[in-house]
Structure 1
């Protein structure tokens, strides 16, 4: 296939079922940088289902271009609501804010939250962690400009001990798709993204519960853990938060079509 004009690129993408064919065509043409052979290769990969973000090498998230690579979970636009809630929950007079991005993937959540909090005048300490070495490498590149360390390991096992009891914002973009529903995900996700970032176990909350079980010991007084969940998982999520001494709250956005479970440490220091 040879795609020499924008119209031909758009037609090829439309034929493959790309809903935003015009926008994607513009981005692929930009990425090809006037190299027709490269453009043909990019379009060929896209029409066979390779995620657009892998082809571009970045994803736009809350106004930032964040680097991604094959094998790394691509942050969804709905997850911007989680960051929005995290930033809104920080007291305006908090001089220092400790942010941890757990299950960080490419690091987009922590990067955007830290940037927005910094713009509000807070001094931010950002730390990220993931169990997947590909994600860790990607996040290290993205977070290097803000001097934020990225640790490799299983959830809290990856974090430095000196963070215990002083985390203000704990972001955890855990998988929440029930195992039986993974097969229903779009091919872009299930064929290209790591299963560990998609499969949340029998009811979708296996990793959620593990994070919640450990969160209270890492949060500072008034600190919160924020985790995206499905709309049908709110009751189970609240029960898990309560069981581990955290005050639960559910926030839902019709705009983002997103639901976030928030657990706050309310006991005094």
Structure 2
């Protein structure tokens, strides 16, 4: 499960590594993502920034419930062919957690890679907590297009040439990558993301989510999901289900480095596949 503004394209290098290790994998595009995303002519060069701020997007109105329904359908198909390990990254953890609450029978292990698994608070509330104090909340705002309330979605101009915005994005996502790697990854992002990140009803539930064996892969140098927050989510999950604690692994690198240099992550996932 991909993070915000991302899609299945960013998982291609990881899937190649997994395939070379002998593992099948599926990268899931949720509604309004991948080839179903909106790339308007206003987004193309030369950009029409006024038009970009106003053009409708296909992801408007997509809810977390829509994402969960879509993911469950994929899990049902995958489960027919053997054990299923559900891997999520960043914002994708919200959908993964809600799906695990609804259908734990479809998941043999759930893996969070610097990913949201809300337990004590709703996702939005965590941003006011001390663990998120180091996050540059203005990074996306530097390239925001349009009013989310009017558009019914979040829209960011990832094709901006503004040096300040690009520097903020690189610091947040890939401070340990080259400029070439950063720009290549930035061009896989789609401009629109849905607004719904769930409510208290979508937090991890002990009776369902808590039955699934789970792993948390910490990203040691992540500026978007600080290590302090990752560790807090691990502690809260372990408190919720002390009889089924997280299996914790750690990878060096930033929020996106594990996808650009996927061999270490593929080895970890291969080890986890041997456990199911």
Indicate the TM-score class for this superposition, using the shorter chain for normalisation. Answer: 0.3 to 0.5
TM-score, reference length from structure 1 = 0.32
Which entry has the higher C-alpha Rg, 1 or 2?
1
TM-score, reference length from structure 2 = 0.32
More strand by share: 1
